[in-house]
Structure 1
């Protein structure tokens, strides 16, 4: 079973090796195809990826001028192999926990008609880049929320959904996921932790003013779609906070 993982990257030399290592340690779970799209990085991101390609043939690197996250994701979708059956995503500063693919792919083996597994995420403010686990003493938050990386999608669902809206600077993933869930896919919500979401000063979601504006724009698009087409589903039941409600990152 071929699982393609799309990883857009822009100036992530500091983190991308850990992200890739976290995928490579799971090669026993699936025939992995890792698609890295370097979106015009000006640091050593591409060189770091090339060094890993020298060690394994399942990583493919594609470079383009800096055009933004939505276009980078669409570039990754265009590189899917004909034999790809399942698709997932991992951002280049996050980590995929050991055993994640084995656990979630078992759901597809048990139910051939499944479109999507949608698992949990753990926000962490420190990762040990040797063990690829949360660092000792770091803060964590467990939740099920809007994140592409917690999903494993059937190829048919991806083809049905189409590409990312390239008008978004951020929240292109929110828009995409809302479109997926509105279409009424057959999905399950495993208790697998699908990603360690690394909180750091360079997170795009910390850009002043932009994340909230783009998120609200994605919600507005969803409302307009459902108003125009009553057959679309409301998106509910996929949000779950496993940590205390008053706990927050700063």
Structure 2
């Protein structure tokens, strides 16, 4: 079977949106999604909102995008609020939770999604870039989770957004980025043991290539018309991933259905690593 066309992939996503709505199963719960204003983060925030959670939509700099995500959740009948905090700087986690506390009195679901997505090749790597990548992709989630655990009710959920590159050296030109996600996975496994006695599950979800605005330049750019087909061919399912694909995997782990899964790395690459 040949690769699905871009149009077919979008139709598949529309069907998933209709089928994936299961409002109510997260009623009464409060979630925070870092980097929730765009791309995968927005998809996750909207899905958790449809499932009944009240969603904190974090943004680093694009307040307008965060407000639009909040508005989309509210239009669908959900509840949400936007909070801004720059990550990768001293005191970032404390600032984020101070903003969160102004809107909510507790936490049930934390999704560490915010991250920087590229890095230079090994021969060109600079110390400042290395430090910045680890500050945003690894250090920030660590301390956001540490302070978040103080606010999280027993039986809560922590879901870290990793990457297929943490398990396969298919893009060695951005190895520093892959390293940050590998460290995040080690954190996930160990934190599951630390918080397990409280009934809190901790898992990683690893996307592959996903059609987001961050990837739009090379996936849809006129200068590289074959990029979409090449990206689709990497997946065993013959298409490029969507934010909804990742959001649905996160929603499972956030729900009661995922109660017996912890310390796990969930491959959400569409079979790109097989």
- Length-normalised TM-score, structure 1: 0.37
- Length-normalised TM-score, structure 2: 0.35
Structure showing the higher strand proportion among its residues: 1
